[in-house]
Amino acid sequence: MAVRRAVSTSVADFQKGDLLLVACSGGPDSLALVAATAWSAPRAGMRMQAVVIDHGLQAGSGAVAEDARQTCELLGVPSEVVRVEVGRAGGPEAAARDARYAALAETAERLGAATVLLGHTLEDQAETVLLRLARGSGARSLAAMSRRNGLWRRPLLDLSRAAVRAAAAEALAPIGRSPWADPHNDDPAFSRVRVRQVLPELDAAVGGGAVPGLVRSADLLRDDADALDGWAQDVADRIVSHEAGERSADCSDLQALPAAIRTRVIRLIALSVGAPGEDLGLDHVRAVEALVVDWHGQGAVSLPGGVRASRVYGRLCLQPSSTRDVETPDWSR
């Protein structure tokens, strides 16, 4: 019932007739989500469908995906399998995630779904925070996964993995099915698996409470990041000038800002002239910031996407690549 309540609460703002798309891997967490949504959706007058993503990364992946689809059907949920091609960018975990999310978004658009429900649990959130903390991430990254983020919703994010898997076992027993055990979930070649193995040791070392503590930190940091991002957008709207594709701001205005706001404004300016967000890193932003706070006559800074940053007569100027058409900036990106 806890899983059902979590789903019902997560989708309570949708309308009768809306389609809820549930991402299903065939594992216990996603099957618990499918079963709970199959209970909640019709009671709210909503429709649902499951989609199984076949990454094609393991031998027999097609059969595993088909088995997951059949399990969803036995739970009374229409479902389909979508095969994706996984690239190499960012490593195997990131590439598989990018391919999966792209396929889910495309399927949602094709079917006219109101949302895509994902089966991440409390422990998944804690693992994400710990991974990003070890990599030296900022507040926005440490905020980890949102319960609601545009198309995506994660109804189970406040529920323990044990509770969710108990719900899966209860839902699957009447139809004589078992969830798929992904061997990648036990393969220490993947960083998330290594963190998953360390987390119980950390919990024991601090006397318990590490998992909810990490999740609580993510929630607090998300509030902070939202406030700082909003502040930075307001500042950018006020001090950034747009002229012939170039964006500029007075260095004295930028220098007077707290560092957390100044770096966010610089990032917003860079994005607005075409720097790709996935490639624009902290080192790039810090190099541009040095033109403002550590000026000693240094030359222009080159950013991803052919963007060029320079200091001209006391103004920080960012110019797009000469081959790129620049649209009106969207400071919310």
Q: What is the 3-state secondary structure (H, E, C) of 32-45?
A: HHHHHHHHHHHHCC
Closest residue by Cα to residue 219 from 142, 151, 159, 121: 142
The tokens describing 151, both together, are 């198309």
pLDDT of residue 322: 66
Pairing of strands 47-54, 79-83: parallel
Pairing of strands 246-250, 315-319: antiparallel
Rounded CA Rg of the chain = 23
SS3 content of the chain, % helix, strand, coil (to 5): 50, 15, 35
Closest residue by Cα to residue 112 from 33, 49, 41: 49
pLDDT of residue 306: 94
* Whole-angstrom distance, CA of residue 319 vs CA of residue 301: 11
How many Cβ atoms from other residues are within 10 Å of residue 252's Cβ?
A: 10
The tokens describing 154, both together, are 């994660």
CB of 52 closer than 8 Å to CB of 80: yes
pLDDT of residue 174: 94
Q: Which amino acid is at 179?
A: P
* Whole-angstrom distance, CA of residue 333 vs CA of residue 323: 22
The tokens describing 157, both together, are 């994010």
Instruction: Give the domains, in start order, of the chain with CATH numbers.
Output: 2-217 (3.40.50.620), 241-333 (3.30.465.60)
CB of 31 closer than 8 Å to CB of 179: yes
What does the buried/exposed string (b/e) look like for 275-305 if buried means 16 or more CB atoms within 10 Å of the residue's CB? beeeebeeebbebbbebbeeeeeeeebebeb
Q: SS3 of 278, please?
A: coil
DSSP-assigned letter for residue 304? G
Q: Which residues contact 58 (CB under 8 A, 6 or more apart)?
A: 64, 183, 184
Mean pLDDT by 10 residues, the chain (333 residues): 95 96 93 96 96 84 90 94 81 82 94 96 92 87 90 96 95 92 78 86 87 92 95 97 91 97 96 91 95 94 95 95 48 35
In this structure, the dihedral spanned by the alpha carbons of residues 8, 13, 17 and 23, taken in order and rounded to 10 degrees, is -60
